[in-house]
Amino acid sequence: MPLTTPEKNLHAAVPPALLARAQEAAQQEHISIDELVSDAMERRLNRREFEEVLAFGKRHAKARGLKTSDVEGAIAAARAEPKERGR
């Protein structure tokens, strides 16, 4: 992901040992520390969004009384539904 000019510089307190590891990782990957931090932030936020979607699915499966073993059948039924309506 190409970096754009930041709207605002970020100042964060980072333990020296973590900063040293981050600098070493960035150097090994031939990227800037800014790119490393941006990537880490994006991955963390994406993981959080995924976990929210997963929790939503679990809540709705539980409300419908679905178990893990029912998932494949429920997906197949949902996919077949539009076909039955002629779509």
**DSSP per-residue string spanning 8-47:** S-------HHHHHHHHHHHHHHT--HHHHHHHHHHHHHHH
Distance, first Cα to last Cα, the chain: 37
Question: How would you write the pLDDT of the chain (87 residues) with one tens digit per residue?
Answer: 566 676 778 888 999 999 999 999 999 999 999 999 999 999 999 999 999 999 998 898 889 888 888 888 888 888 987 766 665
What is the predicted pLDDT for the residue at 18?
96
The model's pTM is: 0.63
Question: Domain coordinates of the chain in residue numbers?
Answer: 16-84
The two tokens of residue 73 are 């059948």
Distance of CA 4 to the CA centre of its chain: 21
Distance between CA atoms of residues 50 and 72, nearest Å: 20
Distance CA(50)–CA(29), nearest Å, equals: 26
